[in-house]
Structure 1
């Protein structure tokens, strides 16, 4: 009987092992891969992973599934030469895995590894389905992420809340933003823009979030849900008799009202909100709240009382829960958080690589006492608006992480975070950032880079290593003091003017590197491209680096256009402007070889979510508007939002940016000829493209390597 009992227990153990999320992860990476590994979970006081060997199988052990997945990724990178990234989450593992000859262990005291900015959910994820989300959750686990923001389906919660407060469906949809703009609605910046949403949208988002949260919890990943911080519709005073304050305008849009914490119904509405959230998605242990985000007026608000009321409502829902807030500009307001208990509040130092608030006295957003008694997370913002372009502070991010950790503020530093506004770009920077917690000591950037390129492309190559060293010391070496908002923007995407430079209103960009370094790096990559044909990681990077080189050439040619116009040289003006326009078309052709750089990928994802032609049209309009005008005429021009989310993408270059530049060159040509043309209404011609429904392919066009070589030979 005892033998049978033991046998049953063993069978149950095998079944439990078979059902782990790690097996599912391995099988999605490569069918049959789970048979090649032994996965062991053991208790430990701090997060760790360990690589070991048992007979012909690789052993990966850790104290939880996320740590085990992180260890698995470490093995794939540094033993098997396999790099899983957004552009490729599958790989063919060797029949016999490379052996772990000596046990390797990594621990971290960084309890939290955070992911996402609110903006990421709109600039990148607005139209994702479960298939894409499943890959993202796997990517998170492999990279040690255990605390991601999770706001999909928040609109469903609000729909039920407002319905119970007496709002009609029409009124509710005048409050909830459309699919491409929900991030800024949830950050209390605007109402309704991009809507109204059809009923089917809410049903799909609810089902999607339930699958997302289920998979996260299987891994042991803690979702951070949007909590209740006082947001109510702008007409809540008239409709519900509430005591509210007006936070003012955001880029031309009216913000939602703020329910005063002293209002007798604050706790009632907060409880209703959490009740509906719990019913749909369960209770969370972490809630994200950012009242008065990005310039919201606090006039007439008792900030101390507001902080305590928000905390009280959250704790009533779940006494173990923690408030997570973004450190951005004046937020979180010191008066709001100074009397909150240690351990109940976590601050995301959102732009720590450029404008740290943790206590670095050299920062333009310096806080003398950091975040006081509260825990905080060292974050890298990196990307704004989902803009396309090489960019980063590679060496600085290494040094600044260890500087923060070793400072007097290191005691309350509890993790790292990826807080990009747009994702699916610059994979090297995200790889670097997610490795920091697992490296106990400072390390050499060049040595890390050498390992990265070998891992990324599956083999070493001296030309590739030299190319990346050039990039790491130039375009990926943005000065520490720079507050530039993301990539050095492509002039192709700029709204034309006499002296165009930055594309988006707040980029603050400067010429911090030599364009020729990028062009030389591109030349090196092109010279060995034939050796990596079919390698999707290499081909993605090759296209991206050559794209950057063409953008650099575009800036040089545009200067010639300016000079020709200033001198009145009609012949040179025509020649230079035609060369510039041809560069845009060549860039479009280059980017068409990869689906990641095609506007059709973005638009078709949006259309695929619609059930009817009307729904498809609404989602496509959201997709087109967000990456061009962003808002209505007031918000786009006076509010500064136009081109904020510009994308150097095939299809968009040819049909939108080319159109703007051709219109401008024709206008200036008339001026050179002594004519007096009517001033260009750029918004009118931009808006026209947002209303179109012409089809764009999401399939690659042309042979990547061949196309790159042809274009590069023609230009350089």
Structure 2
């Protein structure tokens, strides 16, 4: 097993050893020192000495910690990323600090604690990868540099050294298509809107949500320069896009003899927005387009020789013939190496997991063996739940990264498979003839379930699983709030054994709560855990509030757990609604429906409104701030509204990217539930069947009204989280205990 992994890694690295000039150690150390200053301020940053020595690790990243206790803390890394990871190890494990998406807890003890003896950590993972193709659309789409800078700092602190960098590519494609003879109108008709670019890039969609204004290209190109410069300053390797064969329909006007295949519809979209066109691999234009794009891209942004391309994402190829699949794959790779002889192709293995009926061993083997071994780097995208390496003999010898996907669409809702995550990478390393070369964090959307990502990030630097996840999660809580607290620890242990103790059969990374799903009489509101554990964790957090309420992270978690409780209550009230309707009990139906629509949902929306991290207004304001005119601002805002709700013009992927945000609950979910209850009451009163189709038609009109609405939502929090959570508790906890809901 070790020999196979070493051989594959050697193949993966051999070309870079000759092609790359060693990164500037001084530059990388300065980047980490800059991170320190942004994180701690200049006074505290001066307590640390950071250096980078590439020779510290001949293969895998390494860091070394010494000092403290009255002397400077010495942090040495084999790269800037390794030094940043060592710095965070010290802040987390010696100082009890934490840096997360929701904020940072950085109360440093004075003097800084001493490192008792020199601590040297060598990662078992050559790569620690970050990002799903979808993340830049679901979470990053409206970011400016300030937010990107924080995220890159978070990546560095967590030891990320390989990261997707797709920003700004549409400007390059626009240039390429104009060179090929397409006109501006045809290009404008092809690109999707900003919130749907990920699926345009993968060939799933075109046109929907577009066009992209020229100002978008300019801003995104400028942003990409800054992103890449900062990533590279830490020693990270950004992964740039490459040509996968997808072309605009207008390509056939310019080249009528081109061999082009229509791949058909995707995601319930009509051909007005779907039906992507694929240039045949044997067509002589294929290498021309692929090379032209990559040459323009690398001339603009430089390269680190790793490229991402996805050919058949959630779409069946036109042929299952292994020869066709191999030729298509080889054509994509050959277009890369025609421009960059050191090219390595980073490939999402999602298609193999997503449609196993098509991707049988001959088809998978054809794809995986069409690229020279070591030049194909596979992301086993959903390995924590449905790993592919174990049914492909470790991807038939190609190197792979064990990835945790966890979340689809950036949904809120507490869930996770922490035990599987904890054991997964080490199990993959022990697999016969394993070719694992790293770990990956690949959620479709971030800003949720931070405990899951903290664990996965730490595992990127560990060979073995944590022996006691209960102890680990207790430490996580103490770091998060800045101090140990028995009630907080007990609450997190309850969450660990309930919402974070899920098996993949009933926990797939989607939030299926009735709260965020279109109502019907056939919703499944069962859960894999005991709801009383969530309610008890809620009670314990409120008990800890007098001591911990000054912690921003605690207030975030208290709100998030209260939000989860509200989600559980919606399920319970829904169950009562359904039972009352089926039993023909009008009083019970009115009672449950009234409490749900006029009490619970407004209370939840009010609570969410106390925290800027749960505001719909913030999401919409970010979209508007990207614009240079009011017309653009409204265009972007509609993109943002559609993504959270209908997704497509006819509700094509309805509520997939659901969130629980102040404004969204009151303005979108609550009216839909009100309509559902009213139609149930009318049906019961008139003695007529409930017509789901009629309800869905009217509910769709409500959704359309929401996405086209001009209502302004608050962008600043209102009210106090702890006070409203306590009122929520006093109202609902006794009812739950008594079985009244």
Judged with a 3 Å threshold, the aligned counterparts in structure 2 of structure 1 residues 695 and 409 are, in CA distance, closer, same or farther, namely: farther
Using the TM superposition, give the Cα deviation of residue 34 of structure 1 relative to its aligned residue in structure 2, in angstroms.
Answer: 2.2
Q: Note if contact 1:343-1:375 (Cα within 8 Å) is conserved in structure 2.
A: yes
Judged with a 3 Å threshold, the aligned counterparts in structure 2 of structure 1 residues 289 and 18 are, in CA distance, closer, same or farther, namely: closer
Quick one: which of 251, 256, 273 aligns to 1:236? 251
Match of 2:541 in 1: 525
Q: Note if contact 2:231-2:238 (Cα within 8 Å) is conserved in structure 1.
A: yes
> How many corresponding residue pairs?
682
Would you say 1:441 and 2:464 are equivalent positions? yes
Matches within 5 A, 1:226-265: 226-241=241-256, 242-253=258-269, 254-265=274-285
Using the TM superposition, give the Cα deviation of residue 38 of structure 1 relative to its aligned residue in structure 2, in angstroms.
Answer: 1.1
**Aligned-partner Cα distance in 1 for 2:83–2:634:** 43
Judged with a 3 Å threshold, the aligned counterparts in structure 2 of structure 1 residues 236 and 252 are, in CA distance, closer, same or farther, namely: farther
**Aligned-partner Cα distance in 2 for 1:216–1:224:** 11
Match of 1:501 in 2: 524
Match of 2:684 in 1: 672
Match of 1:323 in 2: 345
Q: Note if contact 2:411-2:511 (Cα within 8 Å) is conserved in structure 1.
A: no
Match of 2:139 in 1: 124
Matches within 5 A, 1:16-35: 16=26, 20-32=30-42, 33-35=44-46
Judged with a 3 Å threshold, the aligned counterparts in structure 2 of structure 1 residues 585 and 696 are, in CA distance, closer, same or farther, namely: same
**Aligned-partner Cα distance in 2 for 1:307–1:190:** 21
Match of 1:363 in 2: none
Match of 1:49 in 2: 63
**Aligned-partner Cα distance in 1 for 2:489–2:601:** 29
Quick one: which of 643, 649, 652 aligns to 2:655? 643
Q: Note if contact 1:149-1:223 (Cα within 8 Å) is conserved in structure 2.
A: yes
Using the TM superposition, give the Cα deviation of residue 40 of structure 1 relative to its aligned residue in structure 2, in angstroms.
Answer: 2.2
Matches within 5 A, 1:7-18: 16=26
Using the TM superposition, give the Cα deviation of residue 501 of structure 1 relative to its aligned residue in structure 2, in angstroms.
Answer: 3.0
Match of 2:428 in 1: 404
Match of 1:303 in 2: 325
Quick one: which of 204, 213, 232 aligns to 1:189? 204
Per-residue deviation, residues 652-692 of structure 1 (Å, max 9, x unmatched)? 00111000011111111111211769823121221111011
Match of 1:100 in 2: 115
Quick one: which of 417, 421, 446 aligns to 2:440? 417
Match of 1:562 in 2: 578
**Aligned-partner Cα distance in 2 for 1:370–1:511:** 33
Matches within 5 A, 1:537-686: 537-581=553-597, 582-633=599-650, 636=651, 639=652, 641-674=653-686, 679-680=694-695, 681=697, 682-686=699-703
- Structural RMSD (CA): 1.9
**Aligned-partner Cα distance in 2 for 1:117–1:442:** 24
Match of 1:3 in 2: none
Q: Note if contact 1:355-1:483 (Cα within 8 Å) is conserved in structure 2.
A: no
Using the TM superposition, give the Cα deviation of residue 94 of structure 1 relative to its aligned residue in structure 2, in angstroms.
Answer: 4.1
Farther off after superposition, 539-548 or 45-54: 45-54
Match of 1:273 in 2: 293
Matches within 5 A, 1:81-92: 81-89=96-104, 91-92=106-107
Quick one: which of 380, 390, 394 aligns to 2:404? 380
Per-residue deviation, residues 128-164 of structure 1 (Å, max 9, x unmatched)? 1111100000000000111111111111111111111
**Aligned-partner Cα distance in 2 for 1:483–1:516:** 19
Q: Note if contact 1:236-1:244 (Cα within 8 Å) is conserved in structure 2.
A: no
Match of 2:376 in 1: 345
2:561 aligned counterpart, secondary structure: helix
Using the TM superposition, give the Cα deviation of residue 309 of structure 1 relative to its aligned residue in structure 2, in angstroms.
Answer: 1.5
**Aligned-partner Cα distance in 1 for 2:328–2:112:** 56
Match of 2:195 in 1: 180
**Aligned-partner Cα distance in 1 for 2:181–2:392:** 46
Using the TM superposition, give the Cα deviation of residue 279 of structure 1 relative to its aligned residue in structure 2, in angstroms.
Answer: 2.8
Per-residue deviation, residues 29-83 of structure 1 (Å, max 9, x unmatched)? 1211321101122222131112110652111111010001001111111111110
**Aligned-partner Cα distance in 1 for 2:319–2:649:** 28
Would you say 1:335 and 2:366 are equivalent positions? yes
Match of 1:455 in 2: 479
TM-score normalised by length of structure 2: 0.89
1:542 aligned counterpart, secondary structure: helix
**Aligned-partner Cα distance in 2 for 1:155–1:488:** 32
TM-score normalised by length of structure 1: 0.92
**Aligned-partner Cα distance in 2 for 1:651–1:369:** 49
**Aligned-partner Cα distance in 2 for 1:110–1:271:** 32
After superposing on structure 2, the runs of 4+ consecutive aligned residues of structure 1 that deviate more than 6 Å are: 675-678
Farther off after superposition, 292-301 or 437-446: 292-301
Using the TM superposition, give the Cα deviation of residue 569 of structure 1 relative to its aligned residue in structure 2, in angstroms.
Answer: 1.2
1:346 aligned counterpart, secondary structure: strand
Judged with a 3 Å threshold, the aligned counterparts in structure 2 of structure 1 residues 488 and 645 are, in CA distance, closer, same or farther, namely: closer
Using the TM superposition, give the Cα deviation of residue 700 of structure 1 relative to its aligned residue in structure 2, in angstroms.
Answer: 1.5
**Aligned-partner Cα distance in 2 for 1:240–1:274:** 20
Using the TM superposition, give the Cα deviation of residue 93 of structure 1 relative to its aligned residue in structure 2, in angstroms.
Answer: 3.6
Q: Note if contact 1:30-1:92 (Cα within 8 Å) is conserved in structure 2.
A: no
Farther off after superposition, 692-701 or 145-154: 692-701
Judged with a 3 Å threshold, the aligned counterparts in structure 2 of structure 1 residues 18 and 70 are, in CA distance, closer, same or farther, namely: closer
Using the TM superposition, give the Cα deviation of residue 92 of structure 1 relative to its aligned residue in structure 2, in angstroms.
Answer: 4.9
Match of 1:39 in 2: 50
